Structure 1
């Protein structure tokens, strides 16, 4: 069995709400029902992008198009509520996931804690798949029910069979990913970083790296990569354990990158 984080594709459109603080759209989505209190909420486009079936909502609450709802509703009707939204062009729904499971494998997960010992976050999240029912399509886990949504391989197959685009299924949690495979993955990651180091040519400062990026080159430093896309937009990539770059359009650059030495590399497809 596999599970995937609900992550929007970088080409998905971005939405914002009209910020009515009295509306349930601003409340915590912790798995409790909201449909009885809901009235259609107004949202508008903040960023126009290619994919419109899974728009990004800035409060990290899943949003889908009407055709996604039509495709998944027979399968997830006992796991979610579909909350209608008002948009000037699109028929959209916010998804309130009500299936909340106690399914974290705490022995294999690597957690961050506050000074009082309470959970702050995860360096590594591992699921106990025996606690995820086989017929599950979409779920949350109770310790992060207000922020994180996950889907299973059955959901992924459903989306792909309908040729719906806008979700990134690269964040994978696999029941067959044993501790031995985890160690192998880490070894391969270290080898990949070592290969990047061996093949680097001339090194230069962060300032010069930005100049070369502006000229259409791609530059790298360790696991980090910077380049422009075909529209001339700046992207920052972070090589993950799956040996794929996770790309963001940064609002600001992590200060640590300013002191790194950079070198030219082949551009990636974004």
Structure 2
């Protein structure tokens, strides 16, 4: 079995909610919302290329009506499809209610606050014996408000119907052994070494940011920053699978302001 973090393609349509006080902006922690739900309006920020799985800025999974027609029979016991209002599209927010206790705590790398409380995972490993074979979508109780996971069954349906807008690059594999973990770490270290080895002139963050505004892509270790085709600023972090995880940051972490940056090839965003 393979499990994927539900992530959007960089070319997915971007949406935002118009009512920040609506339930859509509340925590989706795995509990049912069907009885209290009332449709709320969302607007398109950027149309981009793909609209089957639009990217809602506040982080909830959204699907178009044609995707709902296909998936509702598969995920009816795992998620609620709650209607939204849009000027042009039939849209639904996916409230995943299937919350599993399936973390392999012995192999996962846990991040904790100074008082010892759970703060997140540096590395998440699943106990696949606790994920039923017929699962399509689920959450884990530790990160239920911020993450949704899907299985290879879900991915197969997406590919069969040629739905666009998701990025299946973050993979958790039941056959991913400790030996493969070591190999992945080595490949990641080699990729960082290549980035550093090929650098030319180095720049302060302030100078690098100016170069980004001029169309350059700048990197510092696993970090990369550039503009997309609409001129929006993105910050990316190199993941273990050697893809970049991109965010549109509200602020720049102070540690990045102290780093030296150099020019690299642009990524497609």
The equivalent of 1:103 in structure 2 is 102
For normalisation by structure 1, the TM-score amounts to 0.90
Shift of 1:11: 2.4
Q: Is the 8 A contact 2:19 2:40 kept in 1?
A: no
Pair 1:121-2:86 in alignment: no
Pair 1:3-2:10 in alignment: no
Q: Select between 130-139 and 212-221 the one with higher mean Cα deviation.
A: 212-221
The equivalent of 2:43 in structure 1 is 44
Flag as ranges the 4+ runs of structure 1 deviating above 4 A: none
The whole-number CA distance in structure 2 between the counterparts of 1:268 and 1:58 is 21
The equivalent of 1:192 in structure 2 is 191
Shift of 1:186: 0.9
The equivalent of 1:217 in structure 2 is 216
Structure 1 segment 1-270 matched on structure 2, within 5 A: 1-19=1-19, 21=21, 24-270=23-269
The whole-number CA distance in structure 2 between the counterparts of 1:231 and 1:144 is 32
Contiguous gaps of at least 5 residues in structure 1: none
Aligned Cα root-mean-square deviation (Å): 2.1
The whole-number CA distance in structure 2 between the counterparts of 1:58 and 1:263 is 30
Q: Over residues 226-247 of structure 1, what are the superposed CA-to-partner deviations in whole Å (9 max), with x where a residue is unaligned? A: 2333443333222111112222
Q: Is the 8 A contact 2:14 2:47 kept in 1?
A: yes
The whole-number CA distance in structure 1 between the counterparts of 2:17 and 2:80 is 19
Q: Is the 8 A contact 2:16 2:57 kept in 1?
A: yes
For normalisation by structure 2, the TM-score amounts to 0.90
Change (3 A) 1:114 1:40: same
The whole-number CA distance in structure 2 between the counterparts of 1:207 and 1:37 is 48
The whole-number CA distance in structure 1 between the counterparts of 2:10 and 2:105 is 31
Change (3 A) 1:144 1:235: closer
Partner of 2:94: helix, strand, or coil? strand
The whole-number CA distance in structure 2 between the counterparts of 1:58 and 1:199 is 35
Change (3 A) 1:269 1:39: closer
Q: Select between 166-175 and 25-34 the one with higher mean Cα deviation.
A: 25-34
Q: How many pairs does the alignment contain?
A: 269
Shift of 1:2: 0.8
Shift of 1:27: 4.2
Q: Is the 8 A contact 2:204 2:261 kept in 1?
A: yes
The whole-number CA distance in structure 2 between the counterparts of 1:251 and 1:139 is 29
Q: Select between 83-92 and 213-222 the one with higher mean Cα deviation.
A: 213-222
Contiguous gaps of at least 5 residues in structure 2: none
Shift of 1:132: 0.5
Change (3 A) 1:196 1:27: closer
The whole-number CA distance in structure 2 between the counterparts of 1:135 and 1:6 is 17
Q: Over residues 90-114 of structure 1, what are the superposed CA-to-partner deviations in whole Å (9 max), with x where a residue is unaligned? A: 1111111121111111111111234
